[in-house]
Copies of this chain bind each other. A is one copy, B any other.
Amino acid sequence: MSDTEARKQFVEDLTDQTDDFSRWYNEVVRKAQLADYSPVRGSMVIRPYGYGLWENMQRLLDRRIKETGHQNAYFPLLIPESLLQLEADHVEGFAPECAWVTHGGREQLEERFAIRPTSEAIIGHMYSKWIESYRDLPILINQWANVMRWEKVTRLFLRTAEFLWQEGHTAHATEQECLEEVLRMLEVYRDFVETELAIPVYPGKKSDAERFAGAQDTYTIEALMKDGKALQAGTSHHLGQHFAKVFDITYQDEQGKRQFVWQTSWGVSTRLVGALVMTHGDDQGLRLPPNVAPIQAVIVPIWRKDADRSSVLEFIAKVKAAVGKDVRLHVDDRDQYSPGWKYNEYEMRGVPVRLEIGPKDVANAAVMSVRRDTRGKESIPLANLAERLPVLLDEIQRSLFEQAKAFRAENTVMVGTKDEAIAHFGAEKRGFVAMPWDGSAAVEGEIKERCGATLRCMPLDPSPFESIARPNHRVALFARAY
């Protein structure tokens, strides 16, 4: 088999989603060159195409984080074991999955360091040094960083030993301001994920069993993947005064009295790349939302005779000039691959729009556009392209969101009782089940044990579920989850 044939087969051999979703996922992530396995157990390599996607996500989220008054900073990768152990729930939650540094150079260290699984401990320690008076509050800091959790079972992007994320850490004078911040950042996440990633989410509150180790309350946005499993896409924690008390983070209030601060933390990670793949992908590969796609439109030149080559390439130069810098455009003029091969490759990689340009198009002074999401074709005159292409990209962005919303609606059921929920998961094993819940940990535990479904959240907006509303109950969404 030649090199070219081998590559062609590589692209064509994609497992169907319905045959084996998990296998489809692993294949598409590698075939689209988002990521690759590494020689380090559970750690992945994020390849340029995957990292370009992450950079676009970072840029759009970082802007929102700064617009809400936060500044970025950087804290140490290593956390002394003694610091991590100060908050009891926190250490219980994270210590079993820490990677431990025991030697520096040729010497054994006196104290072990954990590679940060999250940074509440080290940041809490610094805040106790920086905060003196009410004038120093609020502190609104975010960090973009790598973190590590030594997981037993790993999946590219979804669960890796090392991953990239941002973690916000804020300190406030009052519980009211603290709670406002928790909900503000949850809304930033909802807006970012729905607007830019075209993934519909339910914002809500976690149950006690599911909250972050060390938090008073955890809020979440929950998405639904195409195999019917839920995915926690971002969390915002109300830390209360738990960390303030163990790290002694106090301020002098206007009356000169020492008070403990109130804290939040919130984060999203490269896991969102996995969510993007599993929300929008199909049997031909990725379908990337234009707002974050590294390549928004790819130009594939077509010629049979060498004589056509120069006129096609000249026309492409005009197309590039007309489109300008507003669209992330890529021209694939490689000779060694056929147009058909390129169509398959860019479908696999989820490029939202393909522009085919052959001698006929040159003659008509137009390009043939093909949408990745619907495969809809449209000949666009060169004269209209600068105006039409951005609009087309917006249409695709909206269409992907609507498709995902429709899928979620089809896969969300409302039940009145625990037994109905259990019956549903027995038959279907997929989707969200909305159920009135009285807060009983026993009910939550029984559903988890019998169906493998966890309480994903209590939606902040219960109005879509009002038909199942009951006094002294809250609506809770259950699902099997990543």
A→B interface (CB under 8 Å): 3, 36, 38-41, 43-48, 50-52, 54-55, 71-80, 83, 96-106, 112-113, 115, 122, 125-126, 129-130, 132-133, 135, 141, 145-146, 148, 150, 161-162, 164, 252, 334, 336
Contact = CB atoms under 8 A, between A and B. Distances in A.
Contacts of A164: 74
Given A38-B75, A80-B39, A102 B105 contact: no
A45 B72 contact: no
Given A39-B83, A41-B104, A77-B146, 12 more contacts: A36-B126, A36-B129, A38-B126, A40-B76, A40-B78, A45-B76, A47-B73, A77-B162, A78-B99, A99-B101, A104-B150, A135-B334
A52 B71 CA distance: 8
B78 A43 contact: yes
Contacts of A133: 3
15 contacts: A38-B76, A38-B126, A39-B83, A39-B125, A45-B75, A46-B74, A50-B73, A51-B74, A52-B72, A55-B72, A77-B115, A78-B162, A99-B104, A135-B334, A146-B146
A50 B150 CA distance: 31
A43 B80 CA distance: 12
A101 B115 contact: yes
A121 to B, nearest CB: 10
A103 B102 contact: yes
A283 to B, nearest CB: 26
Contacts of A46: 73-74
A147 to B, nearest CB: 10
Nearest to A97: B105
A30 B265 CA distance: 26
A263 B54 CA distance: 26
A265 to B, nearest CB: 16
Contacts of A96: 105-106
Contacts of A75: 38, 45
A162 B116 CA distance: 13
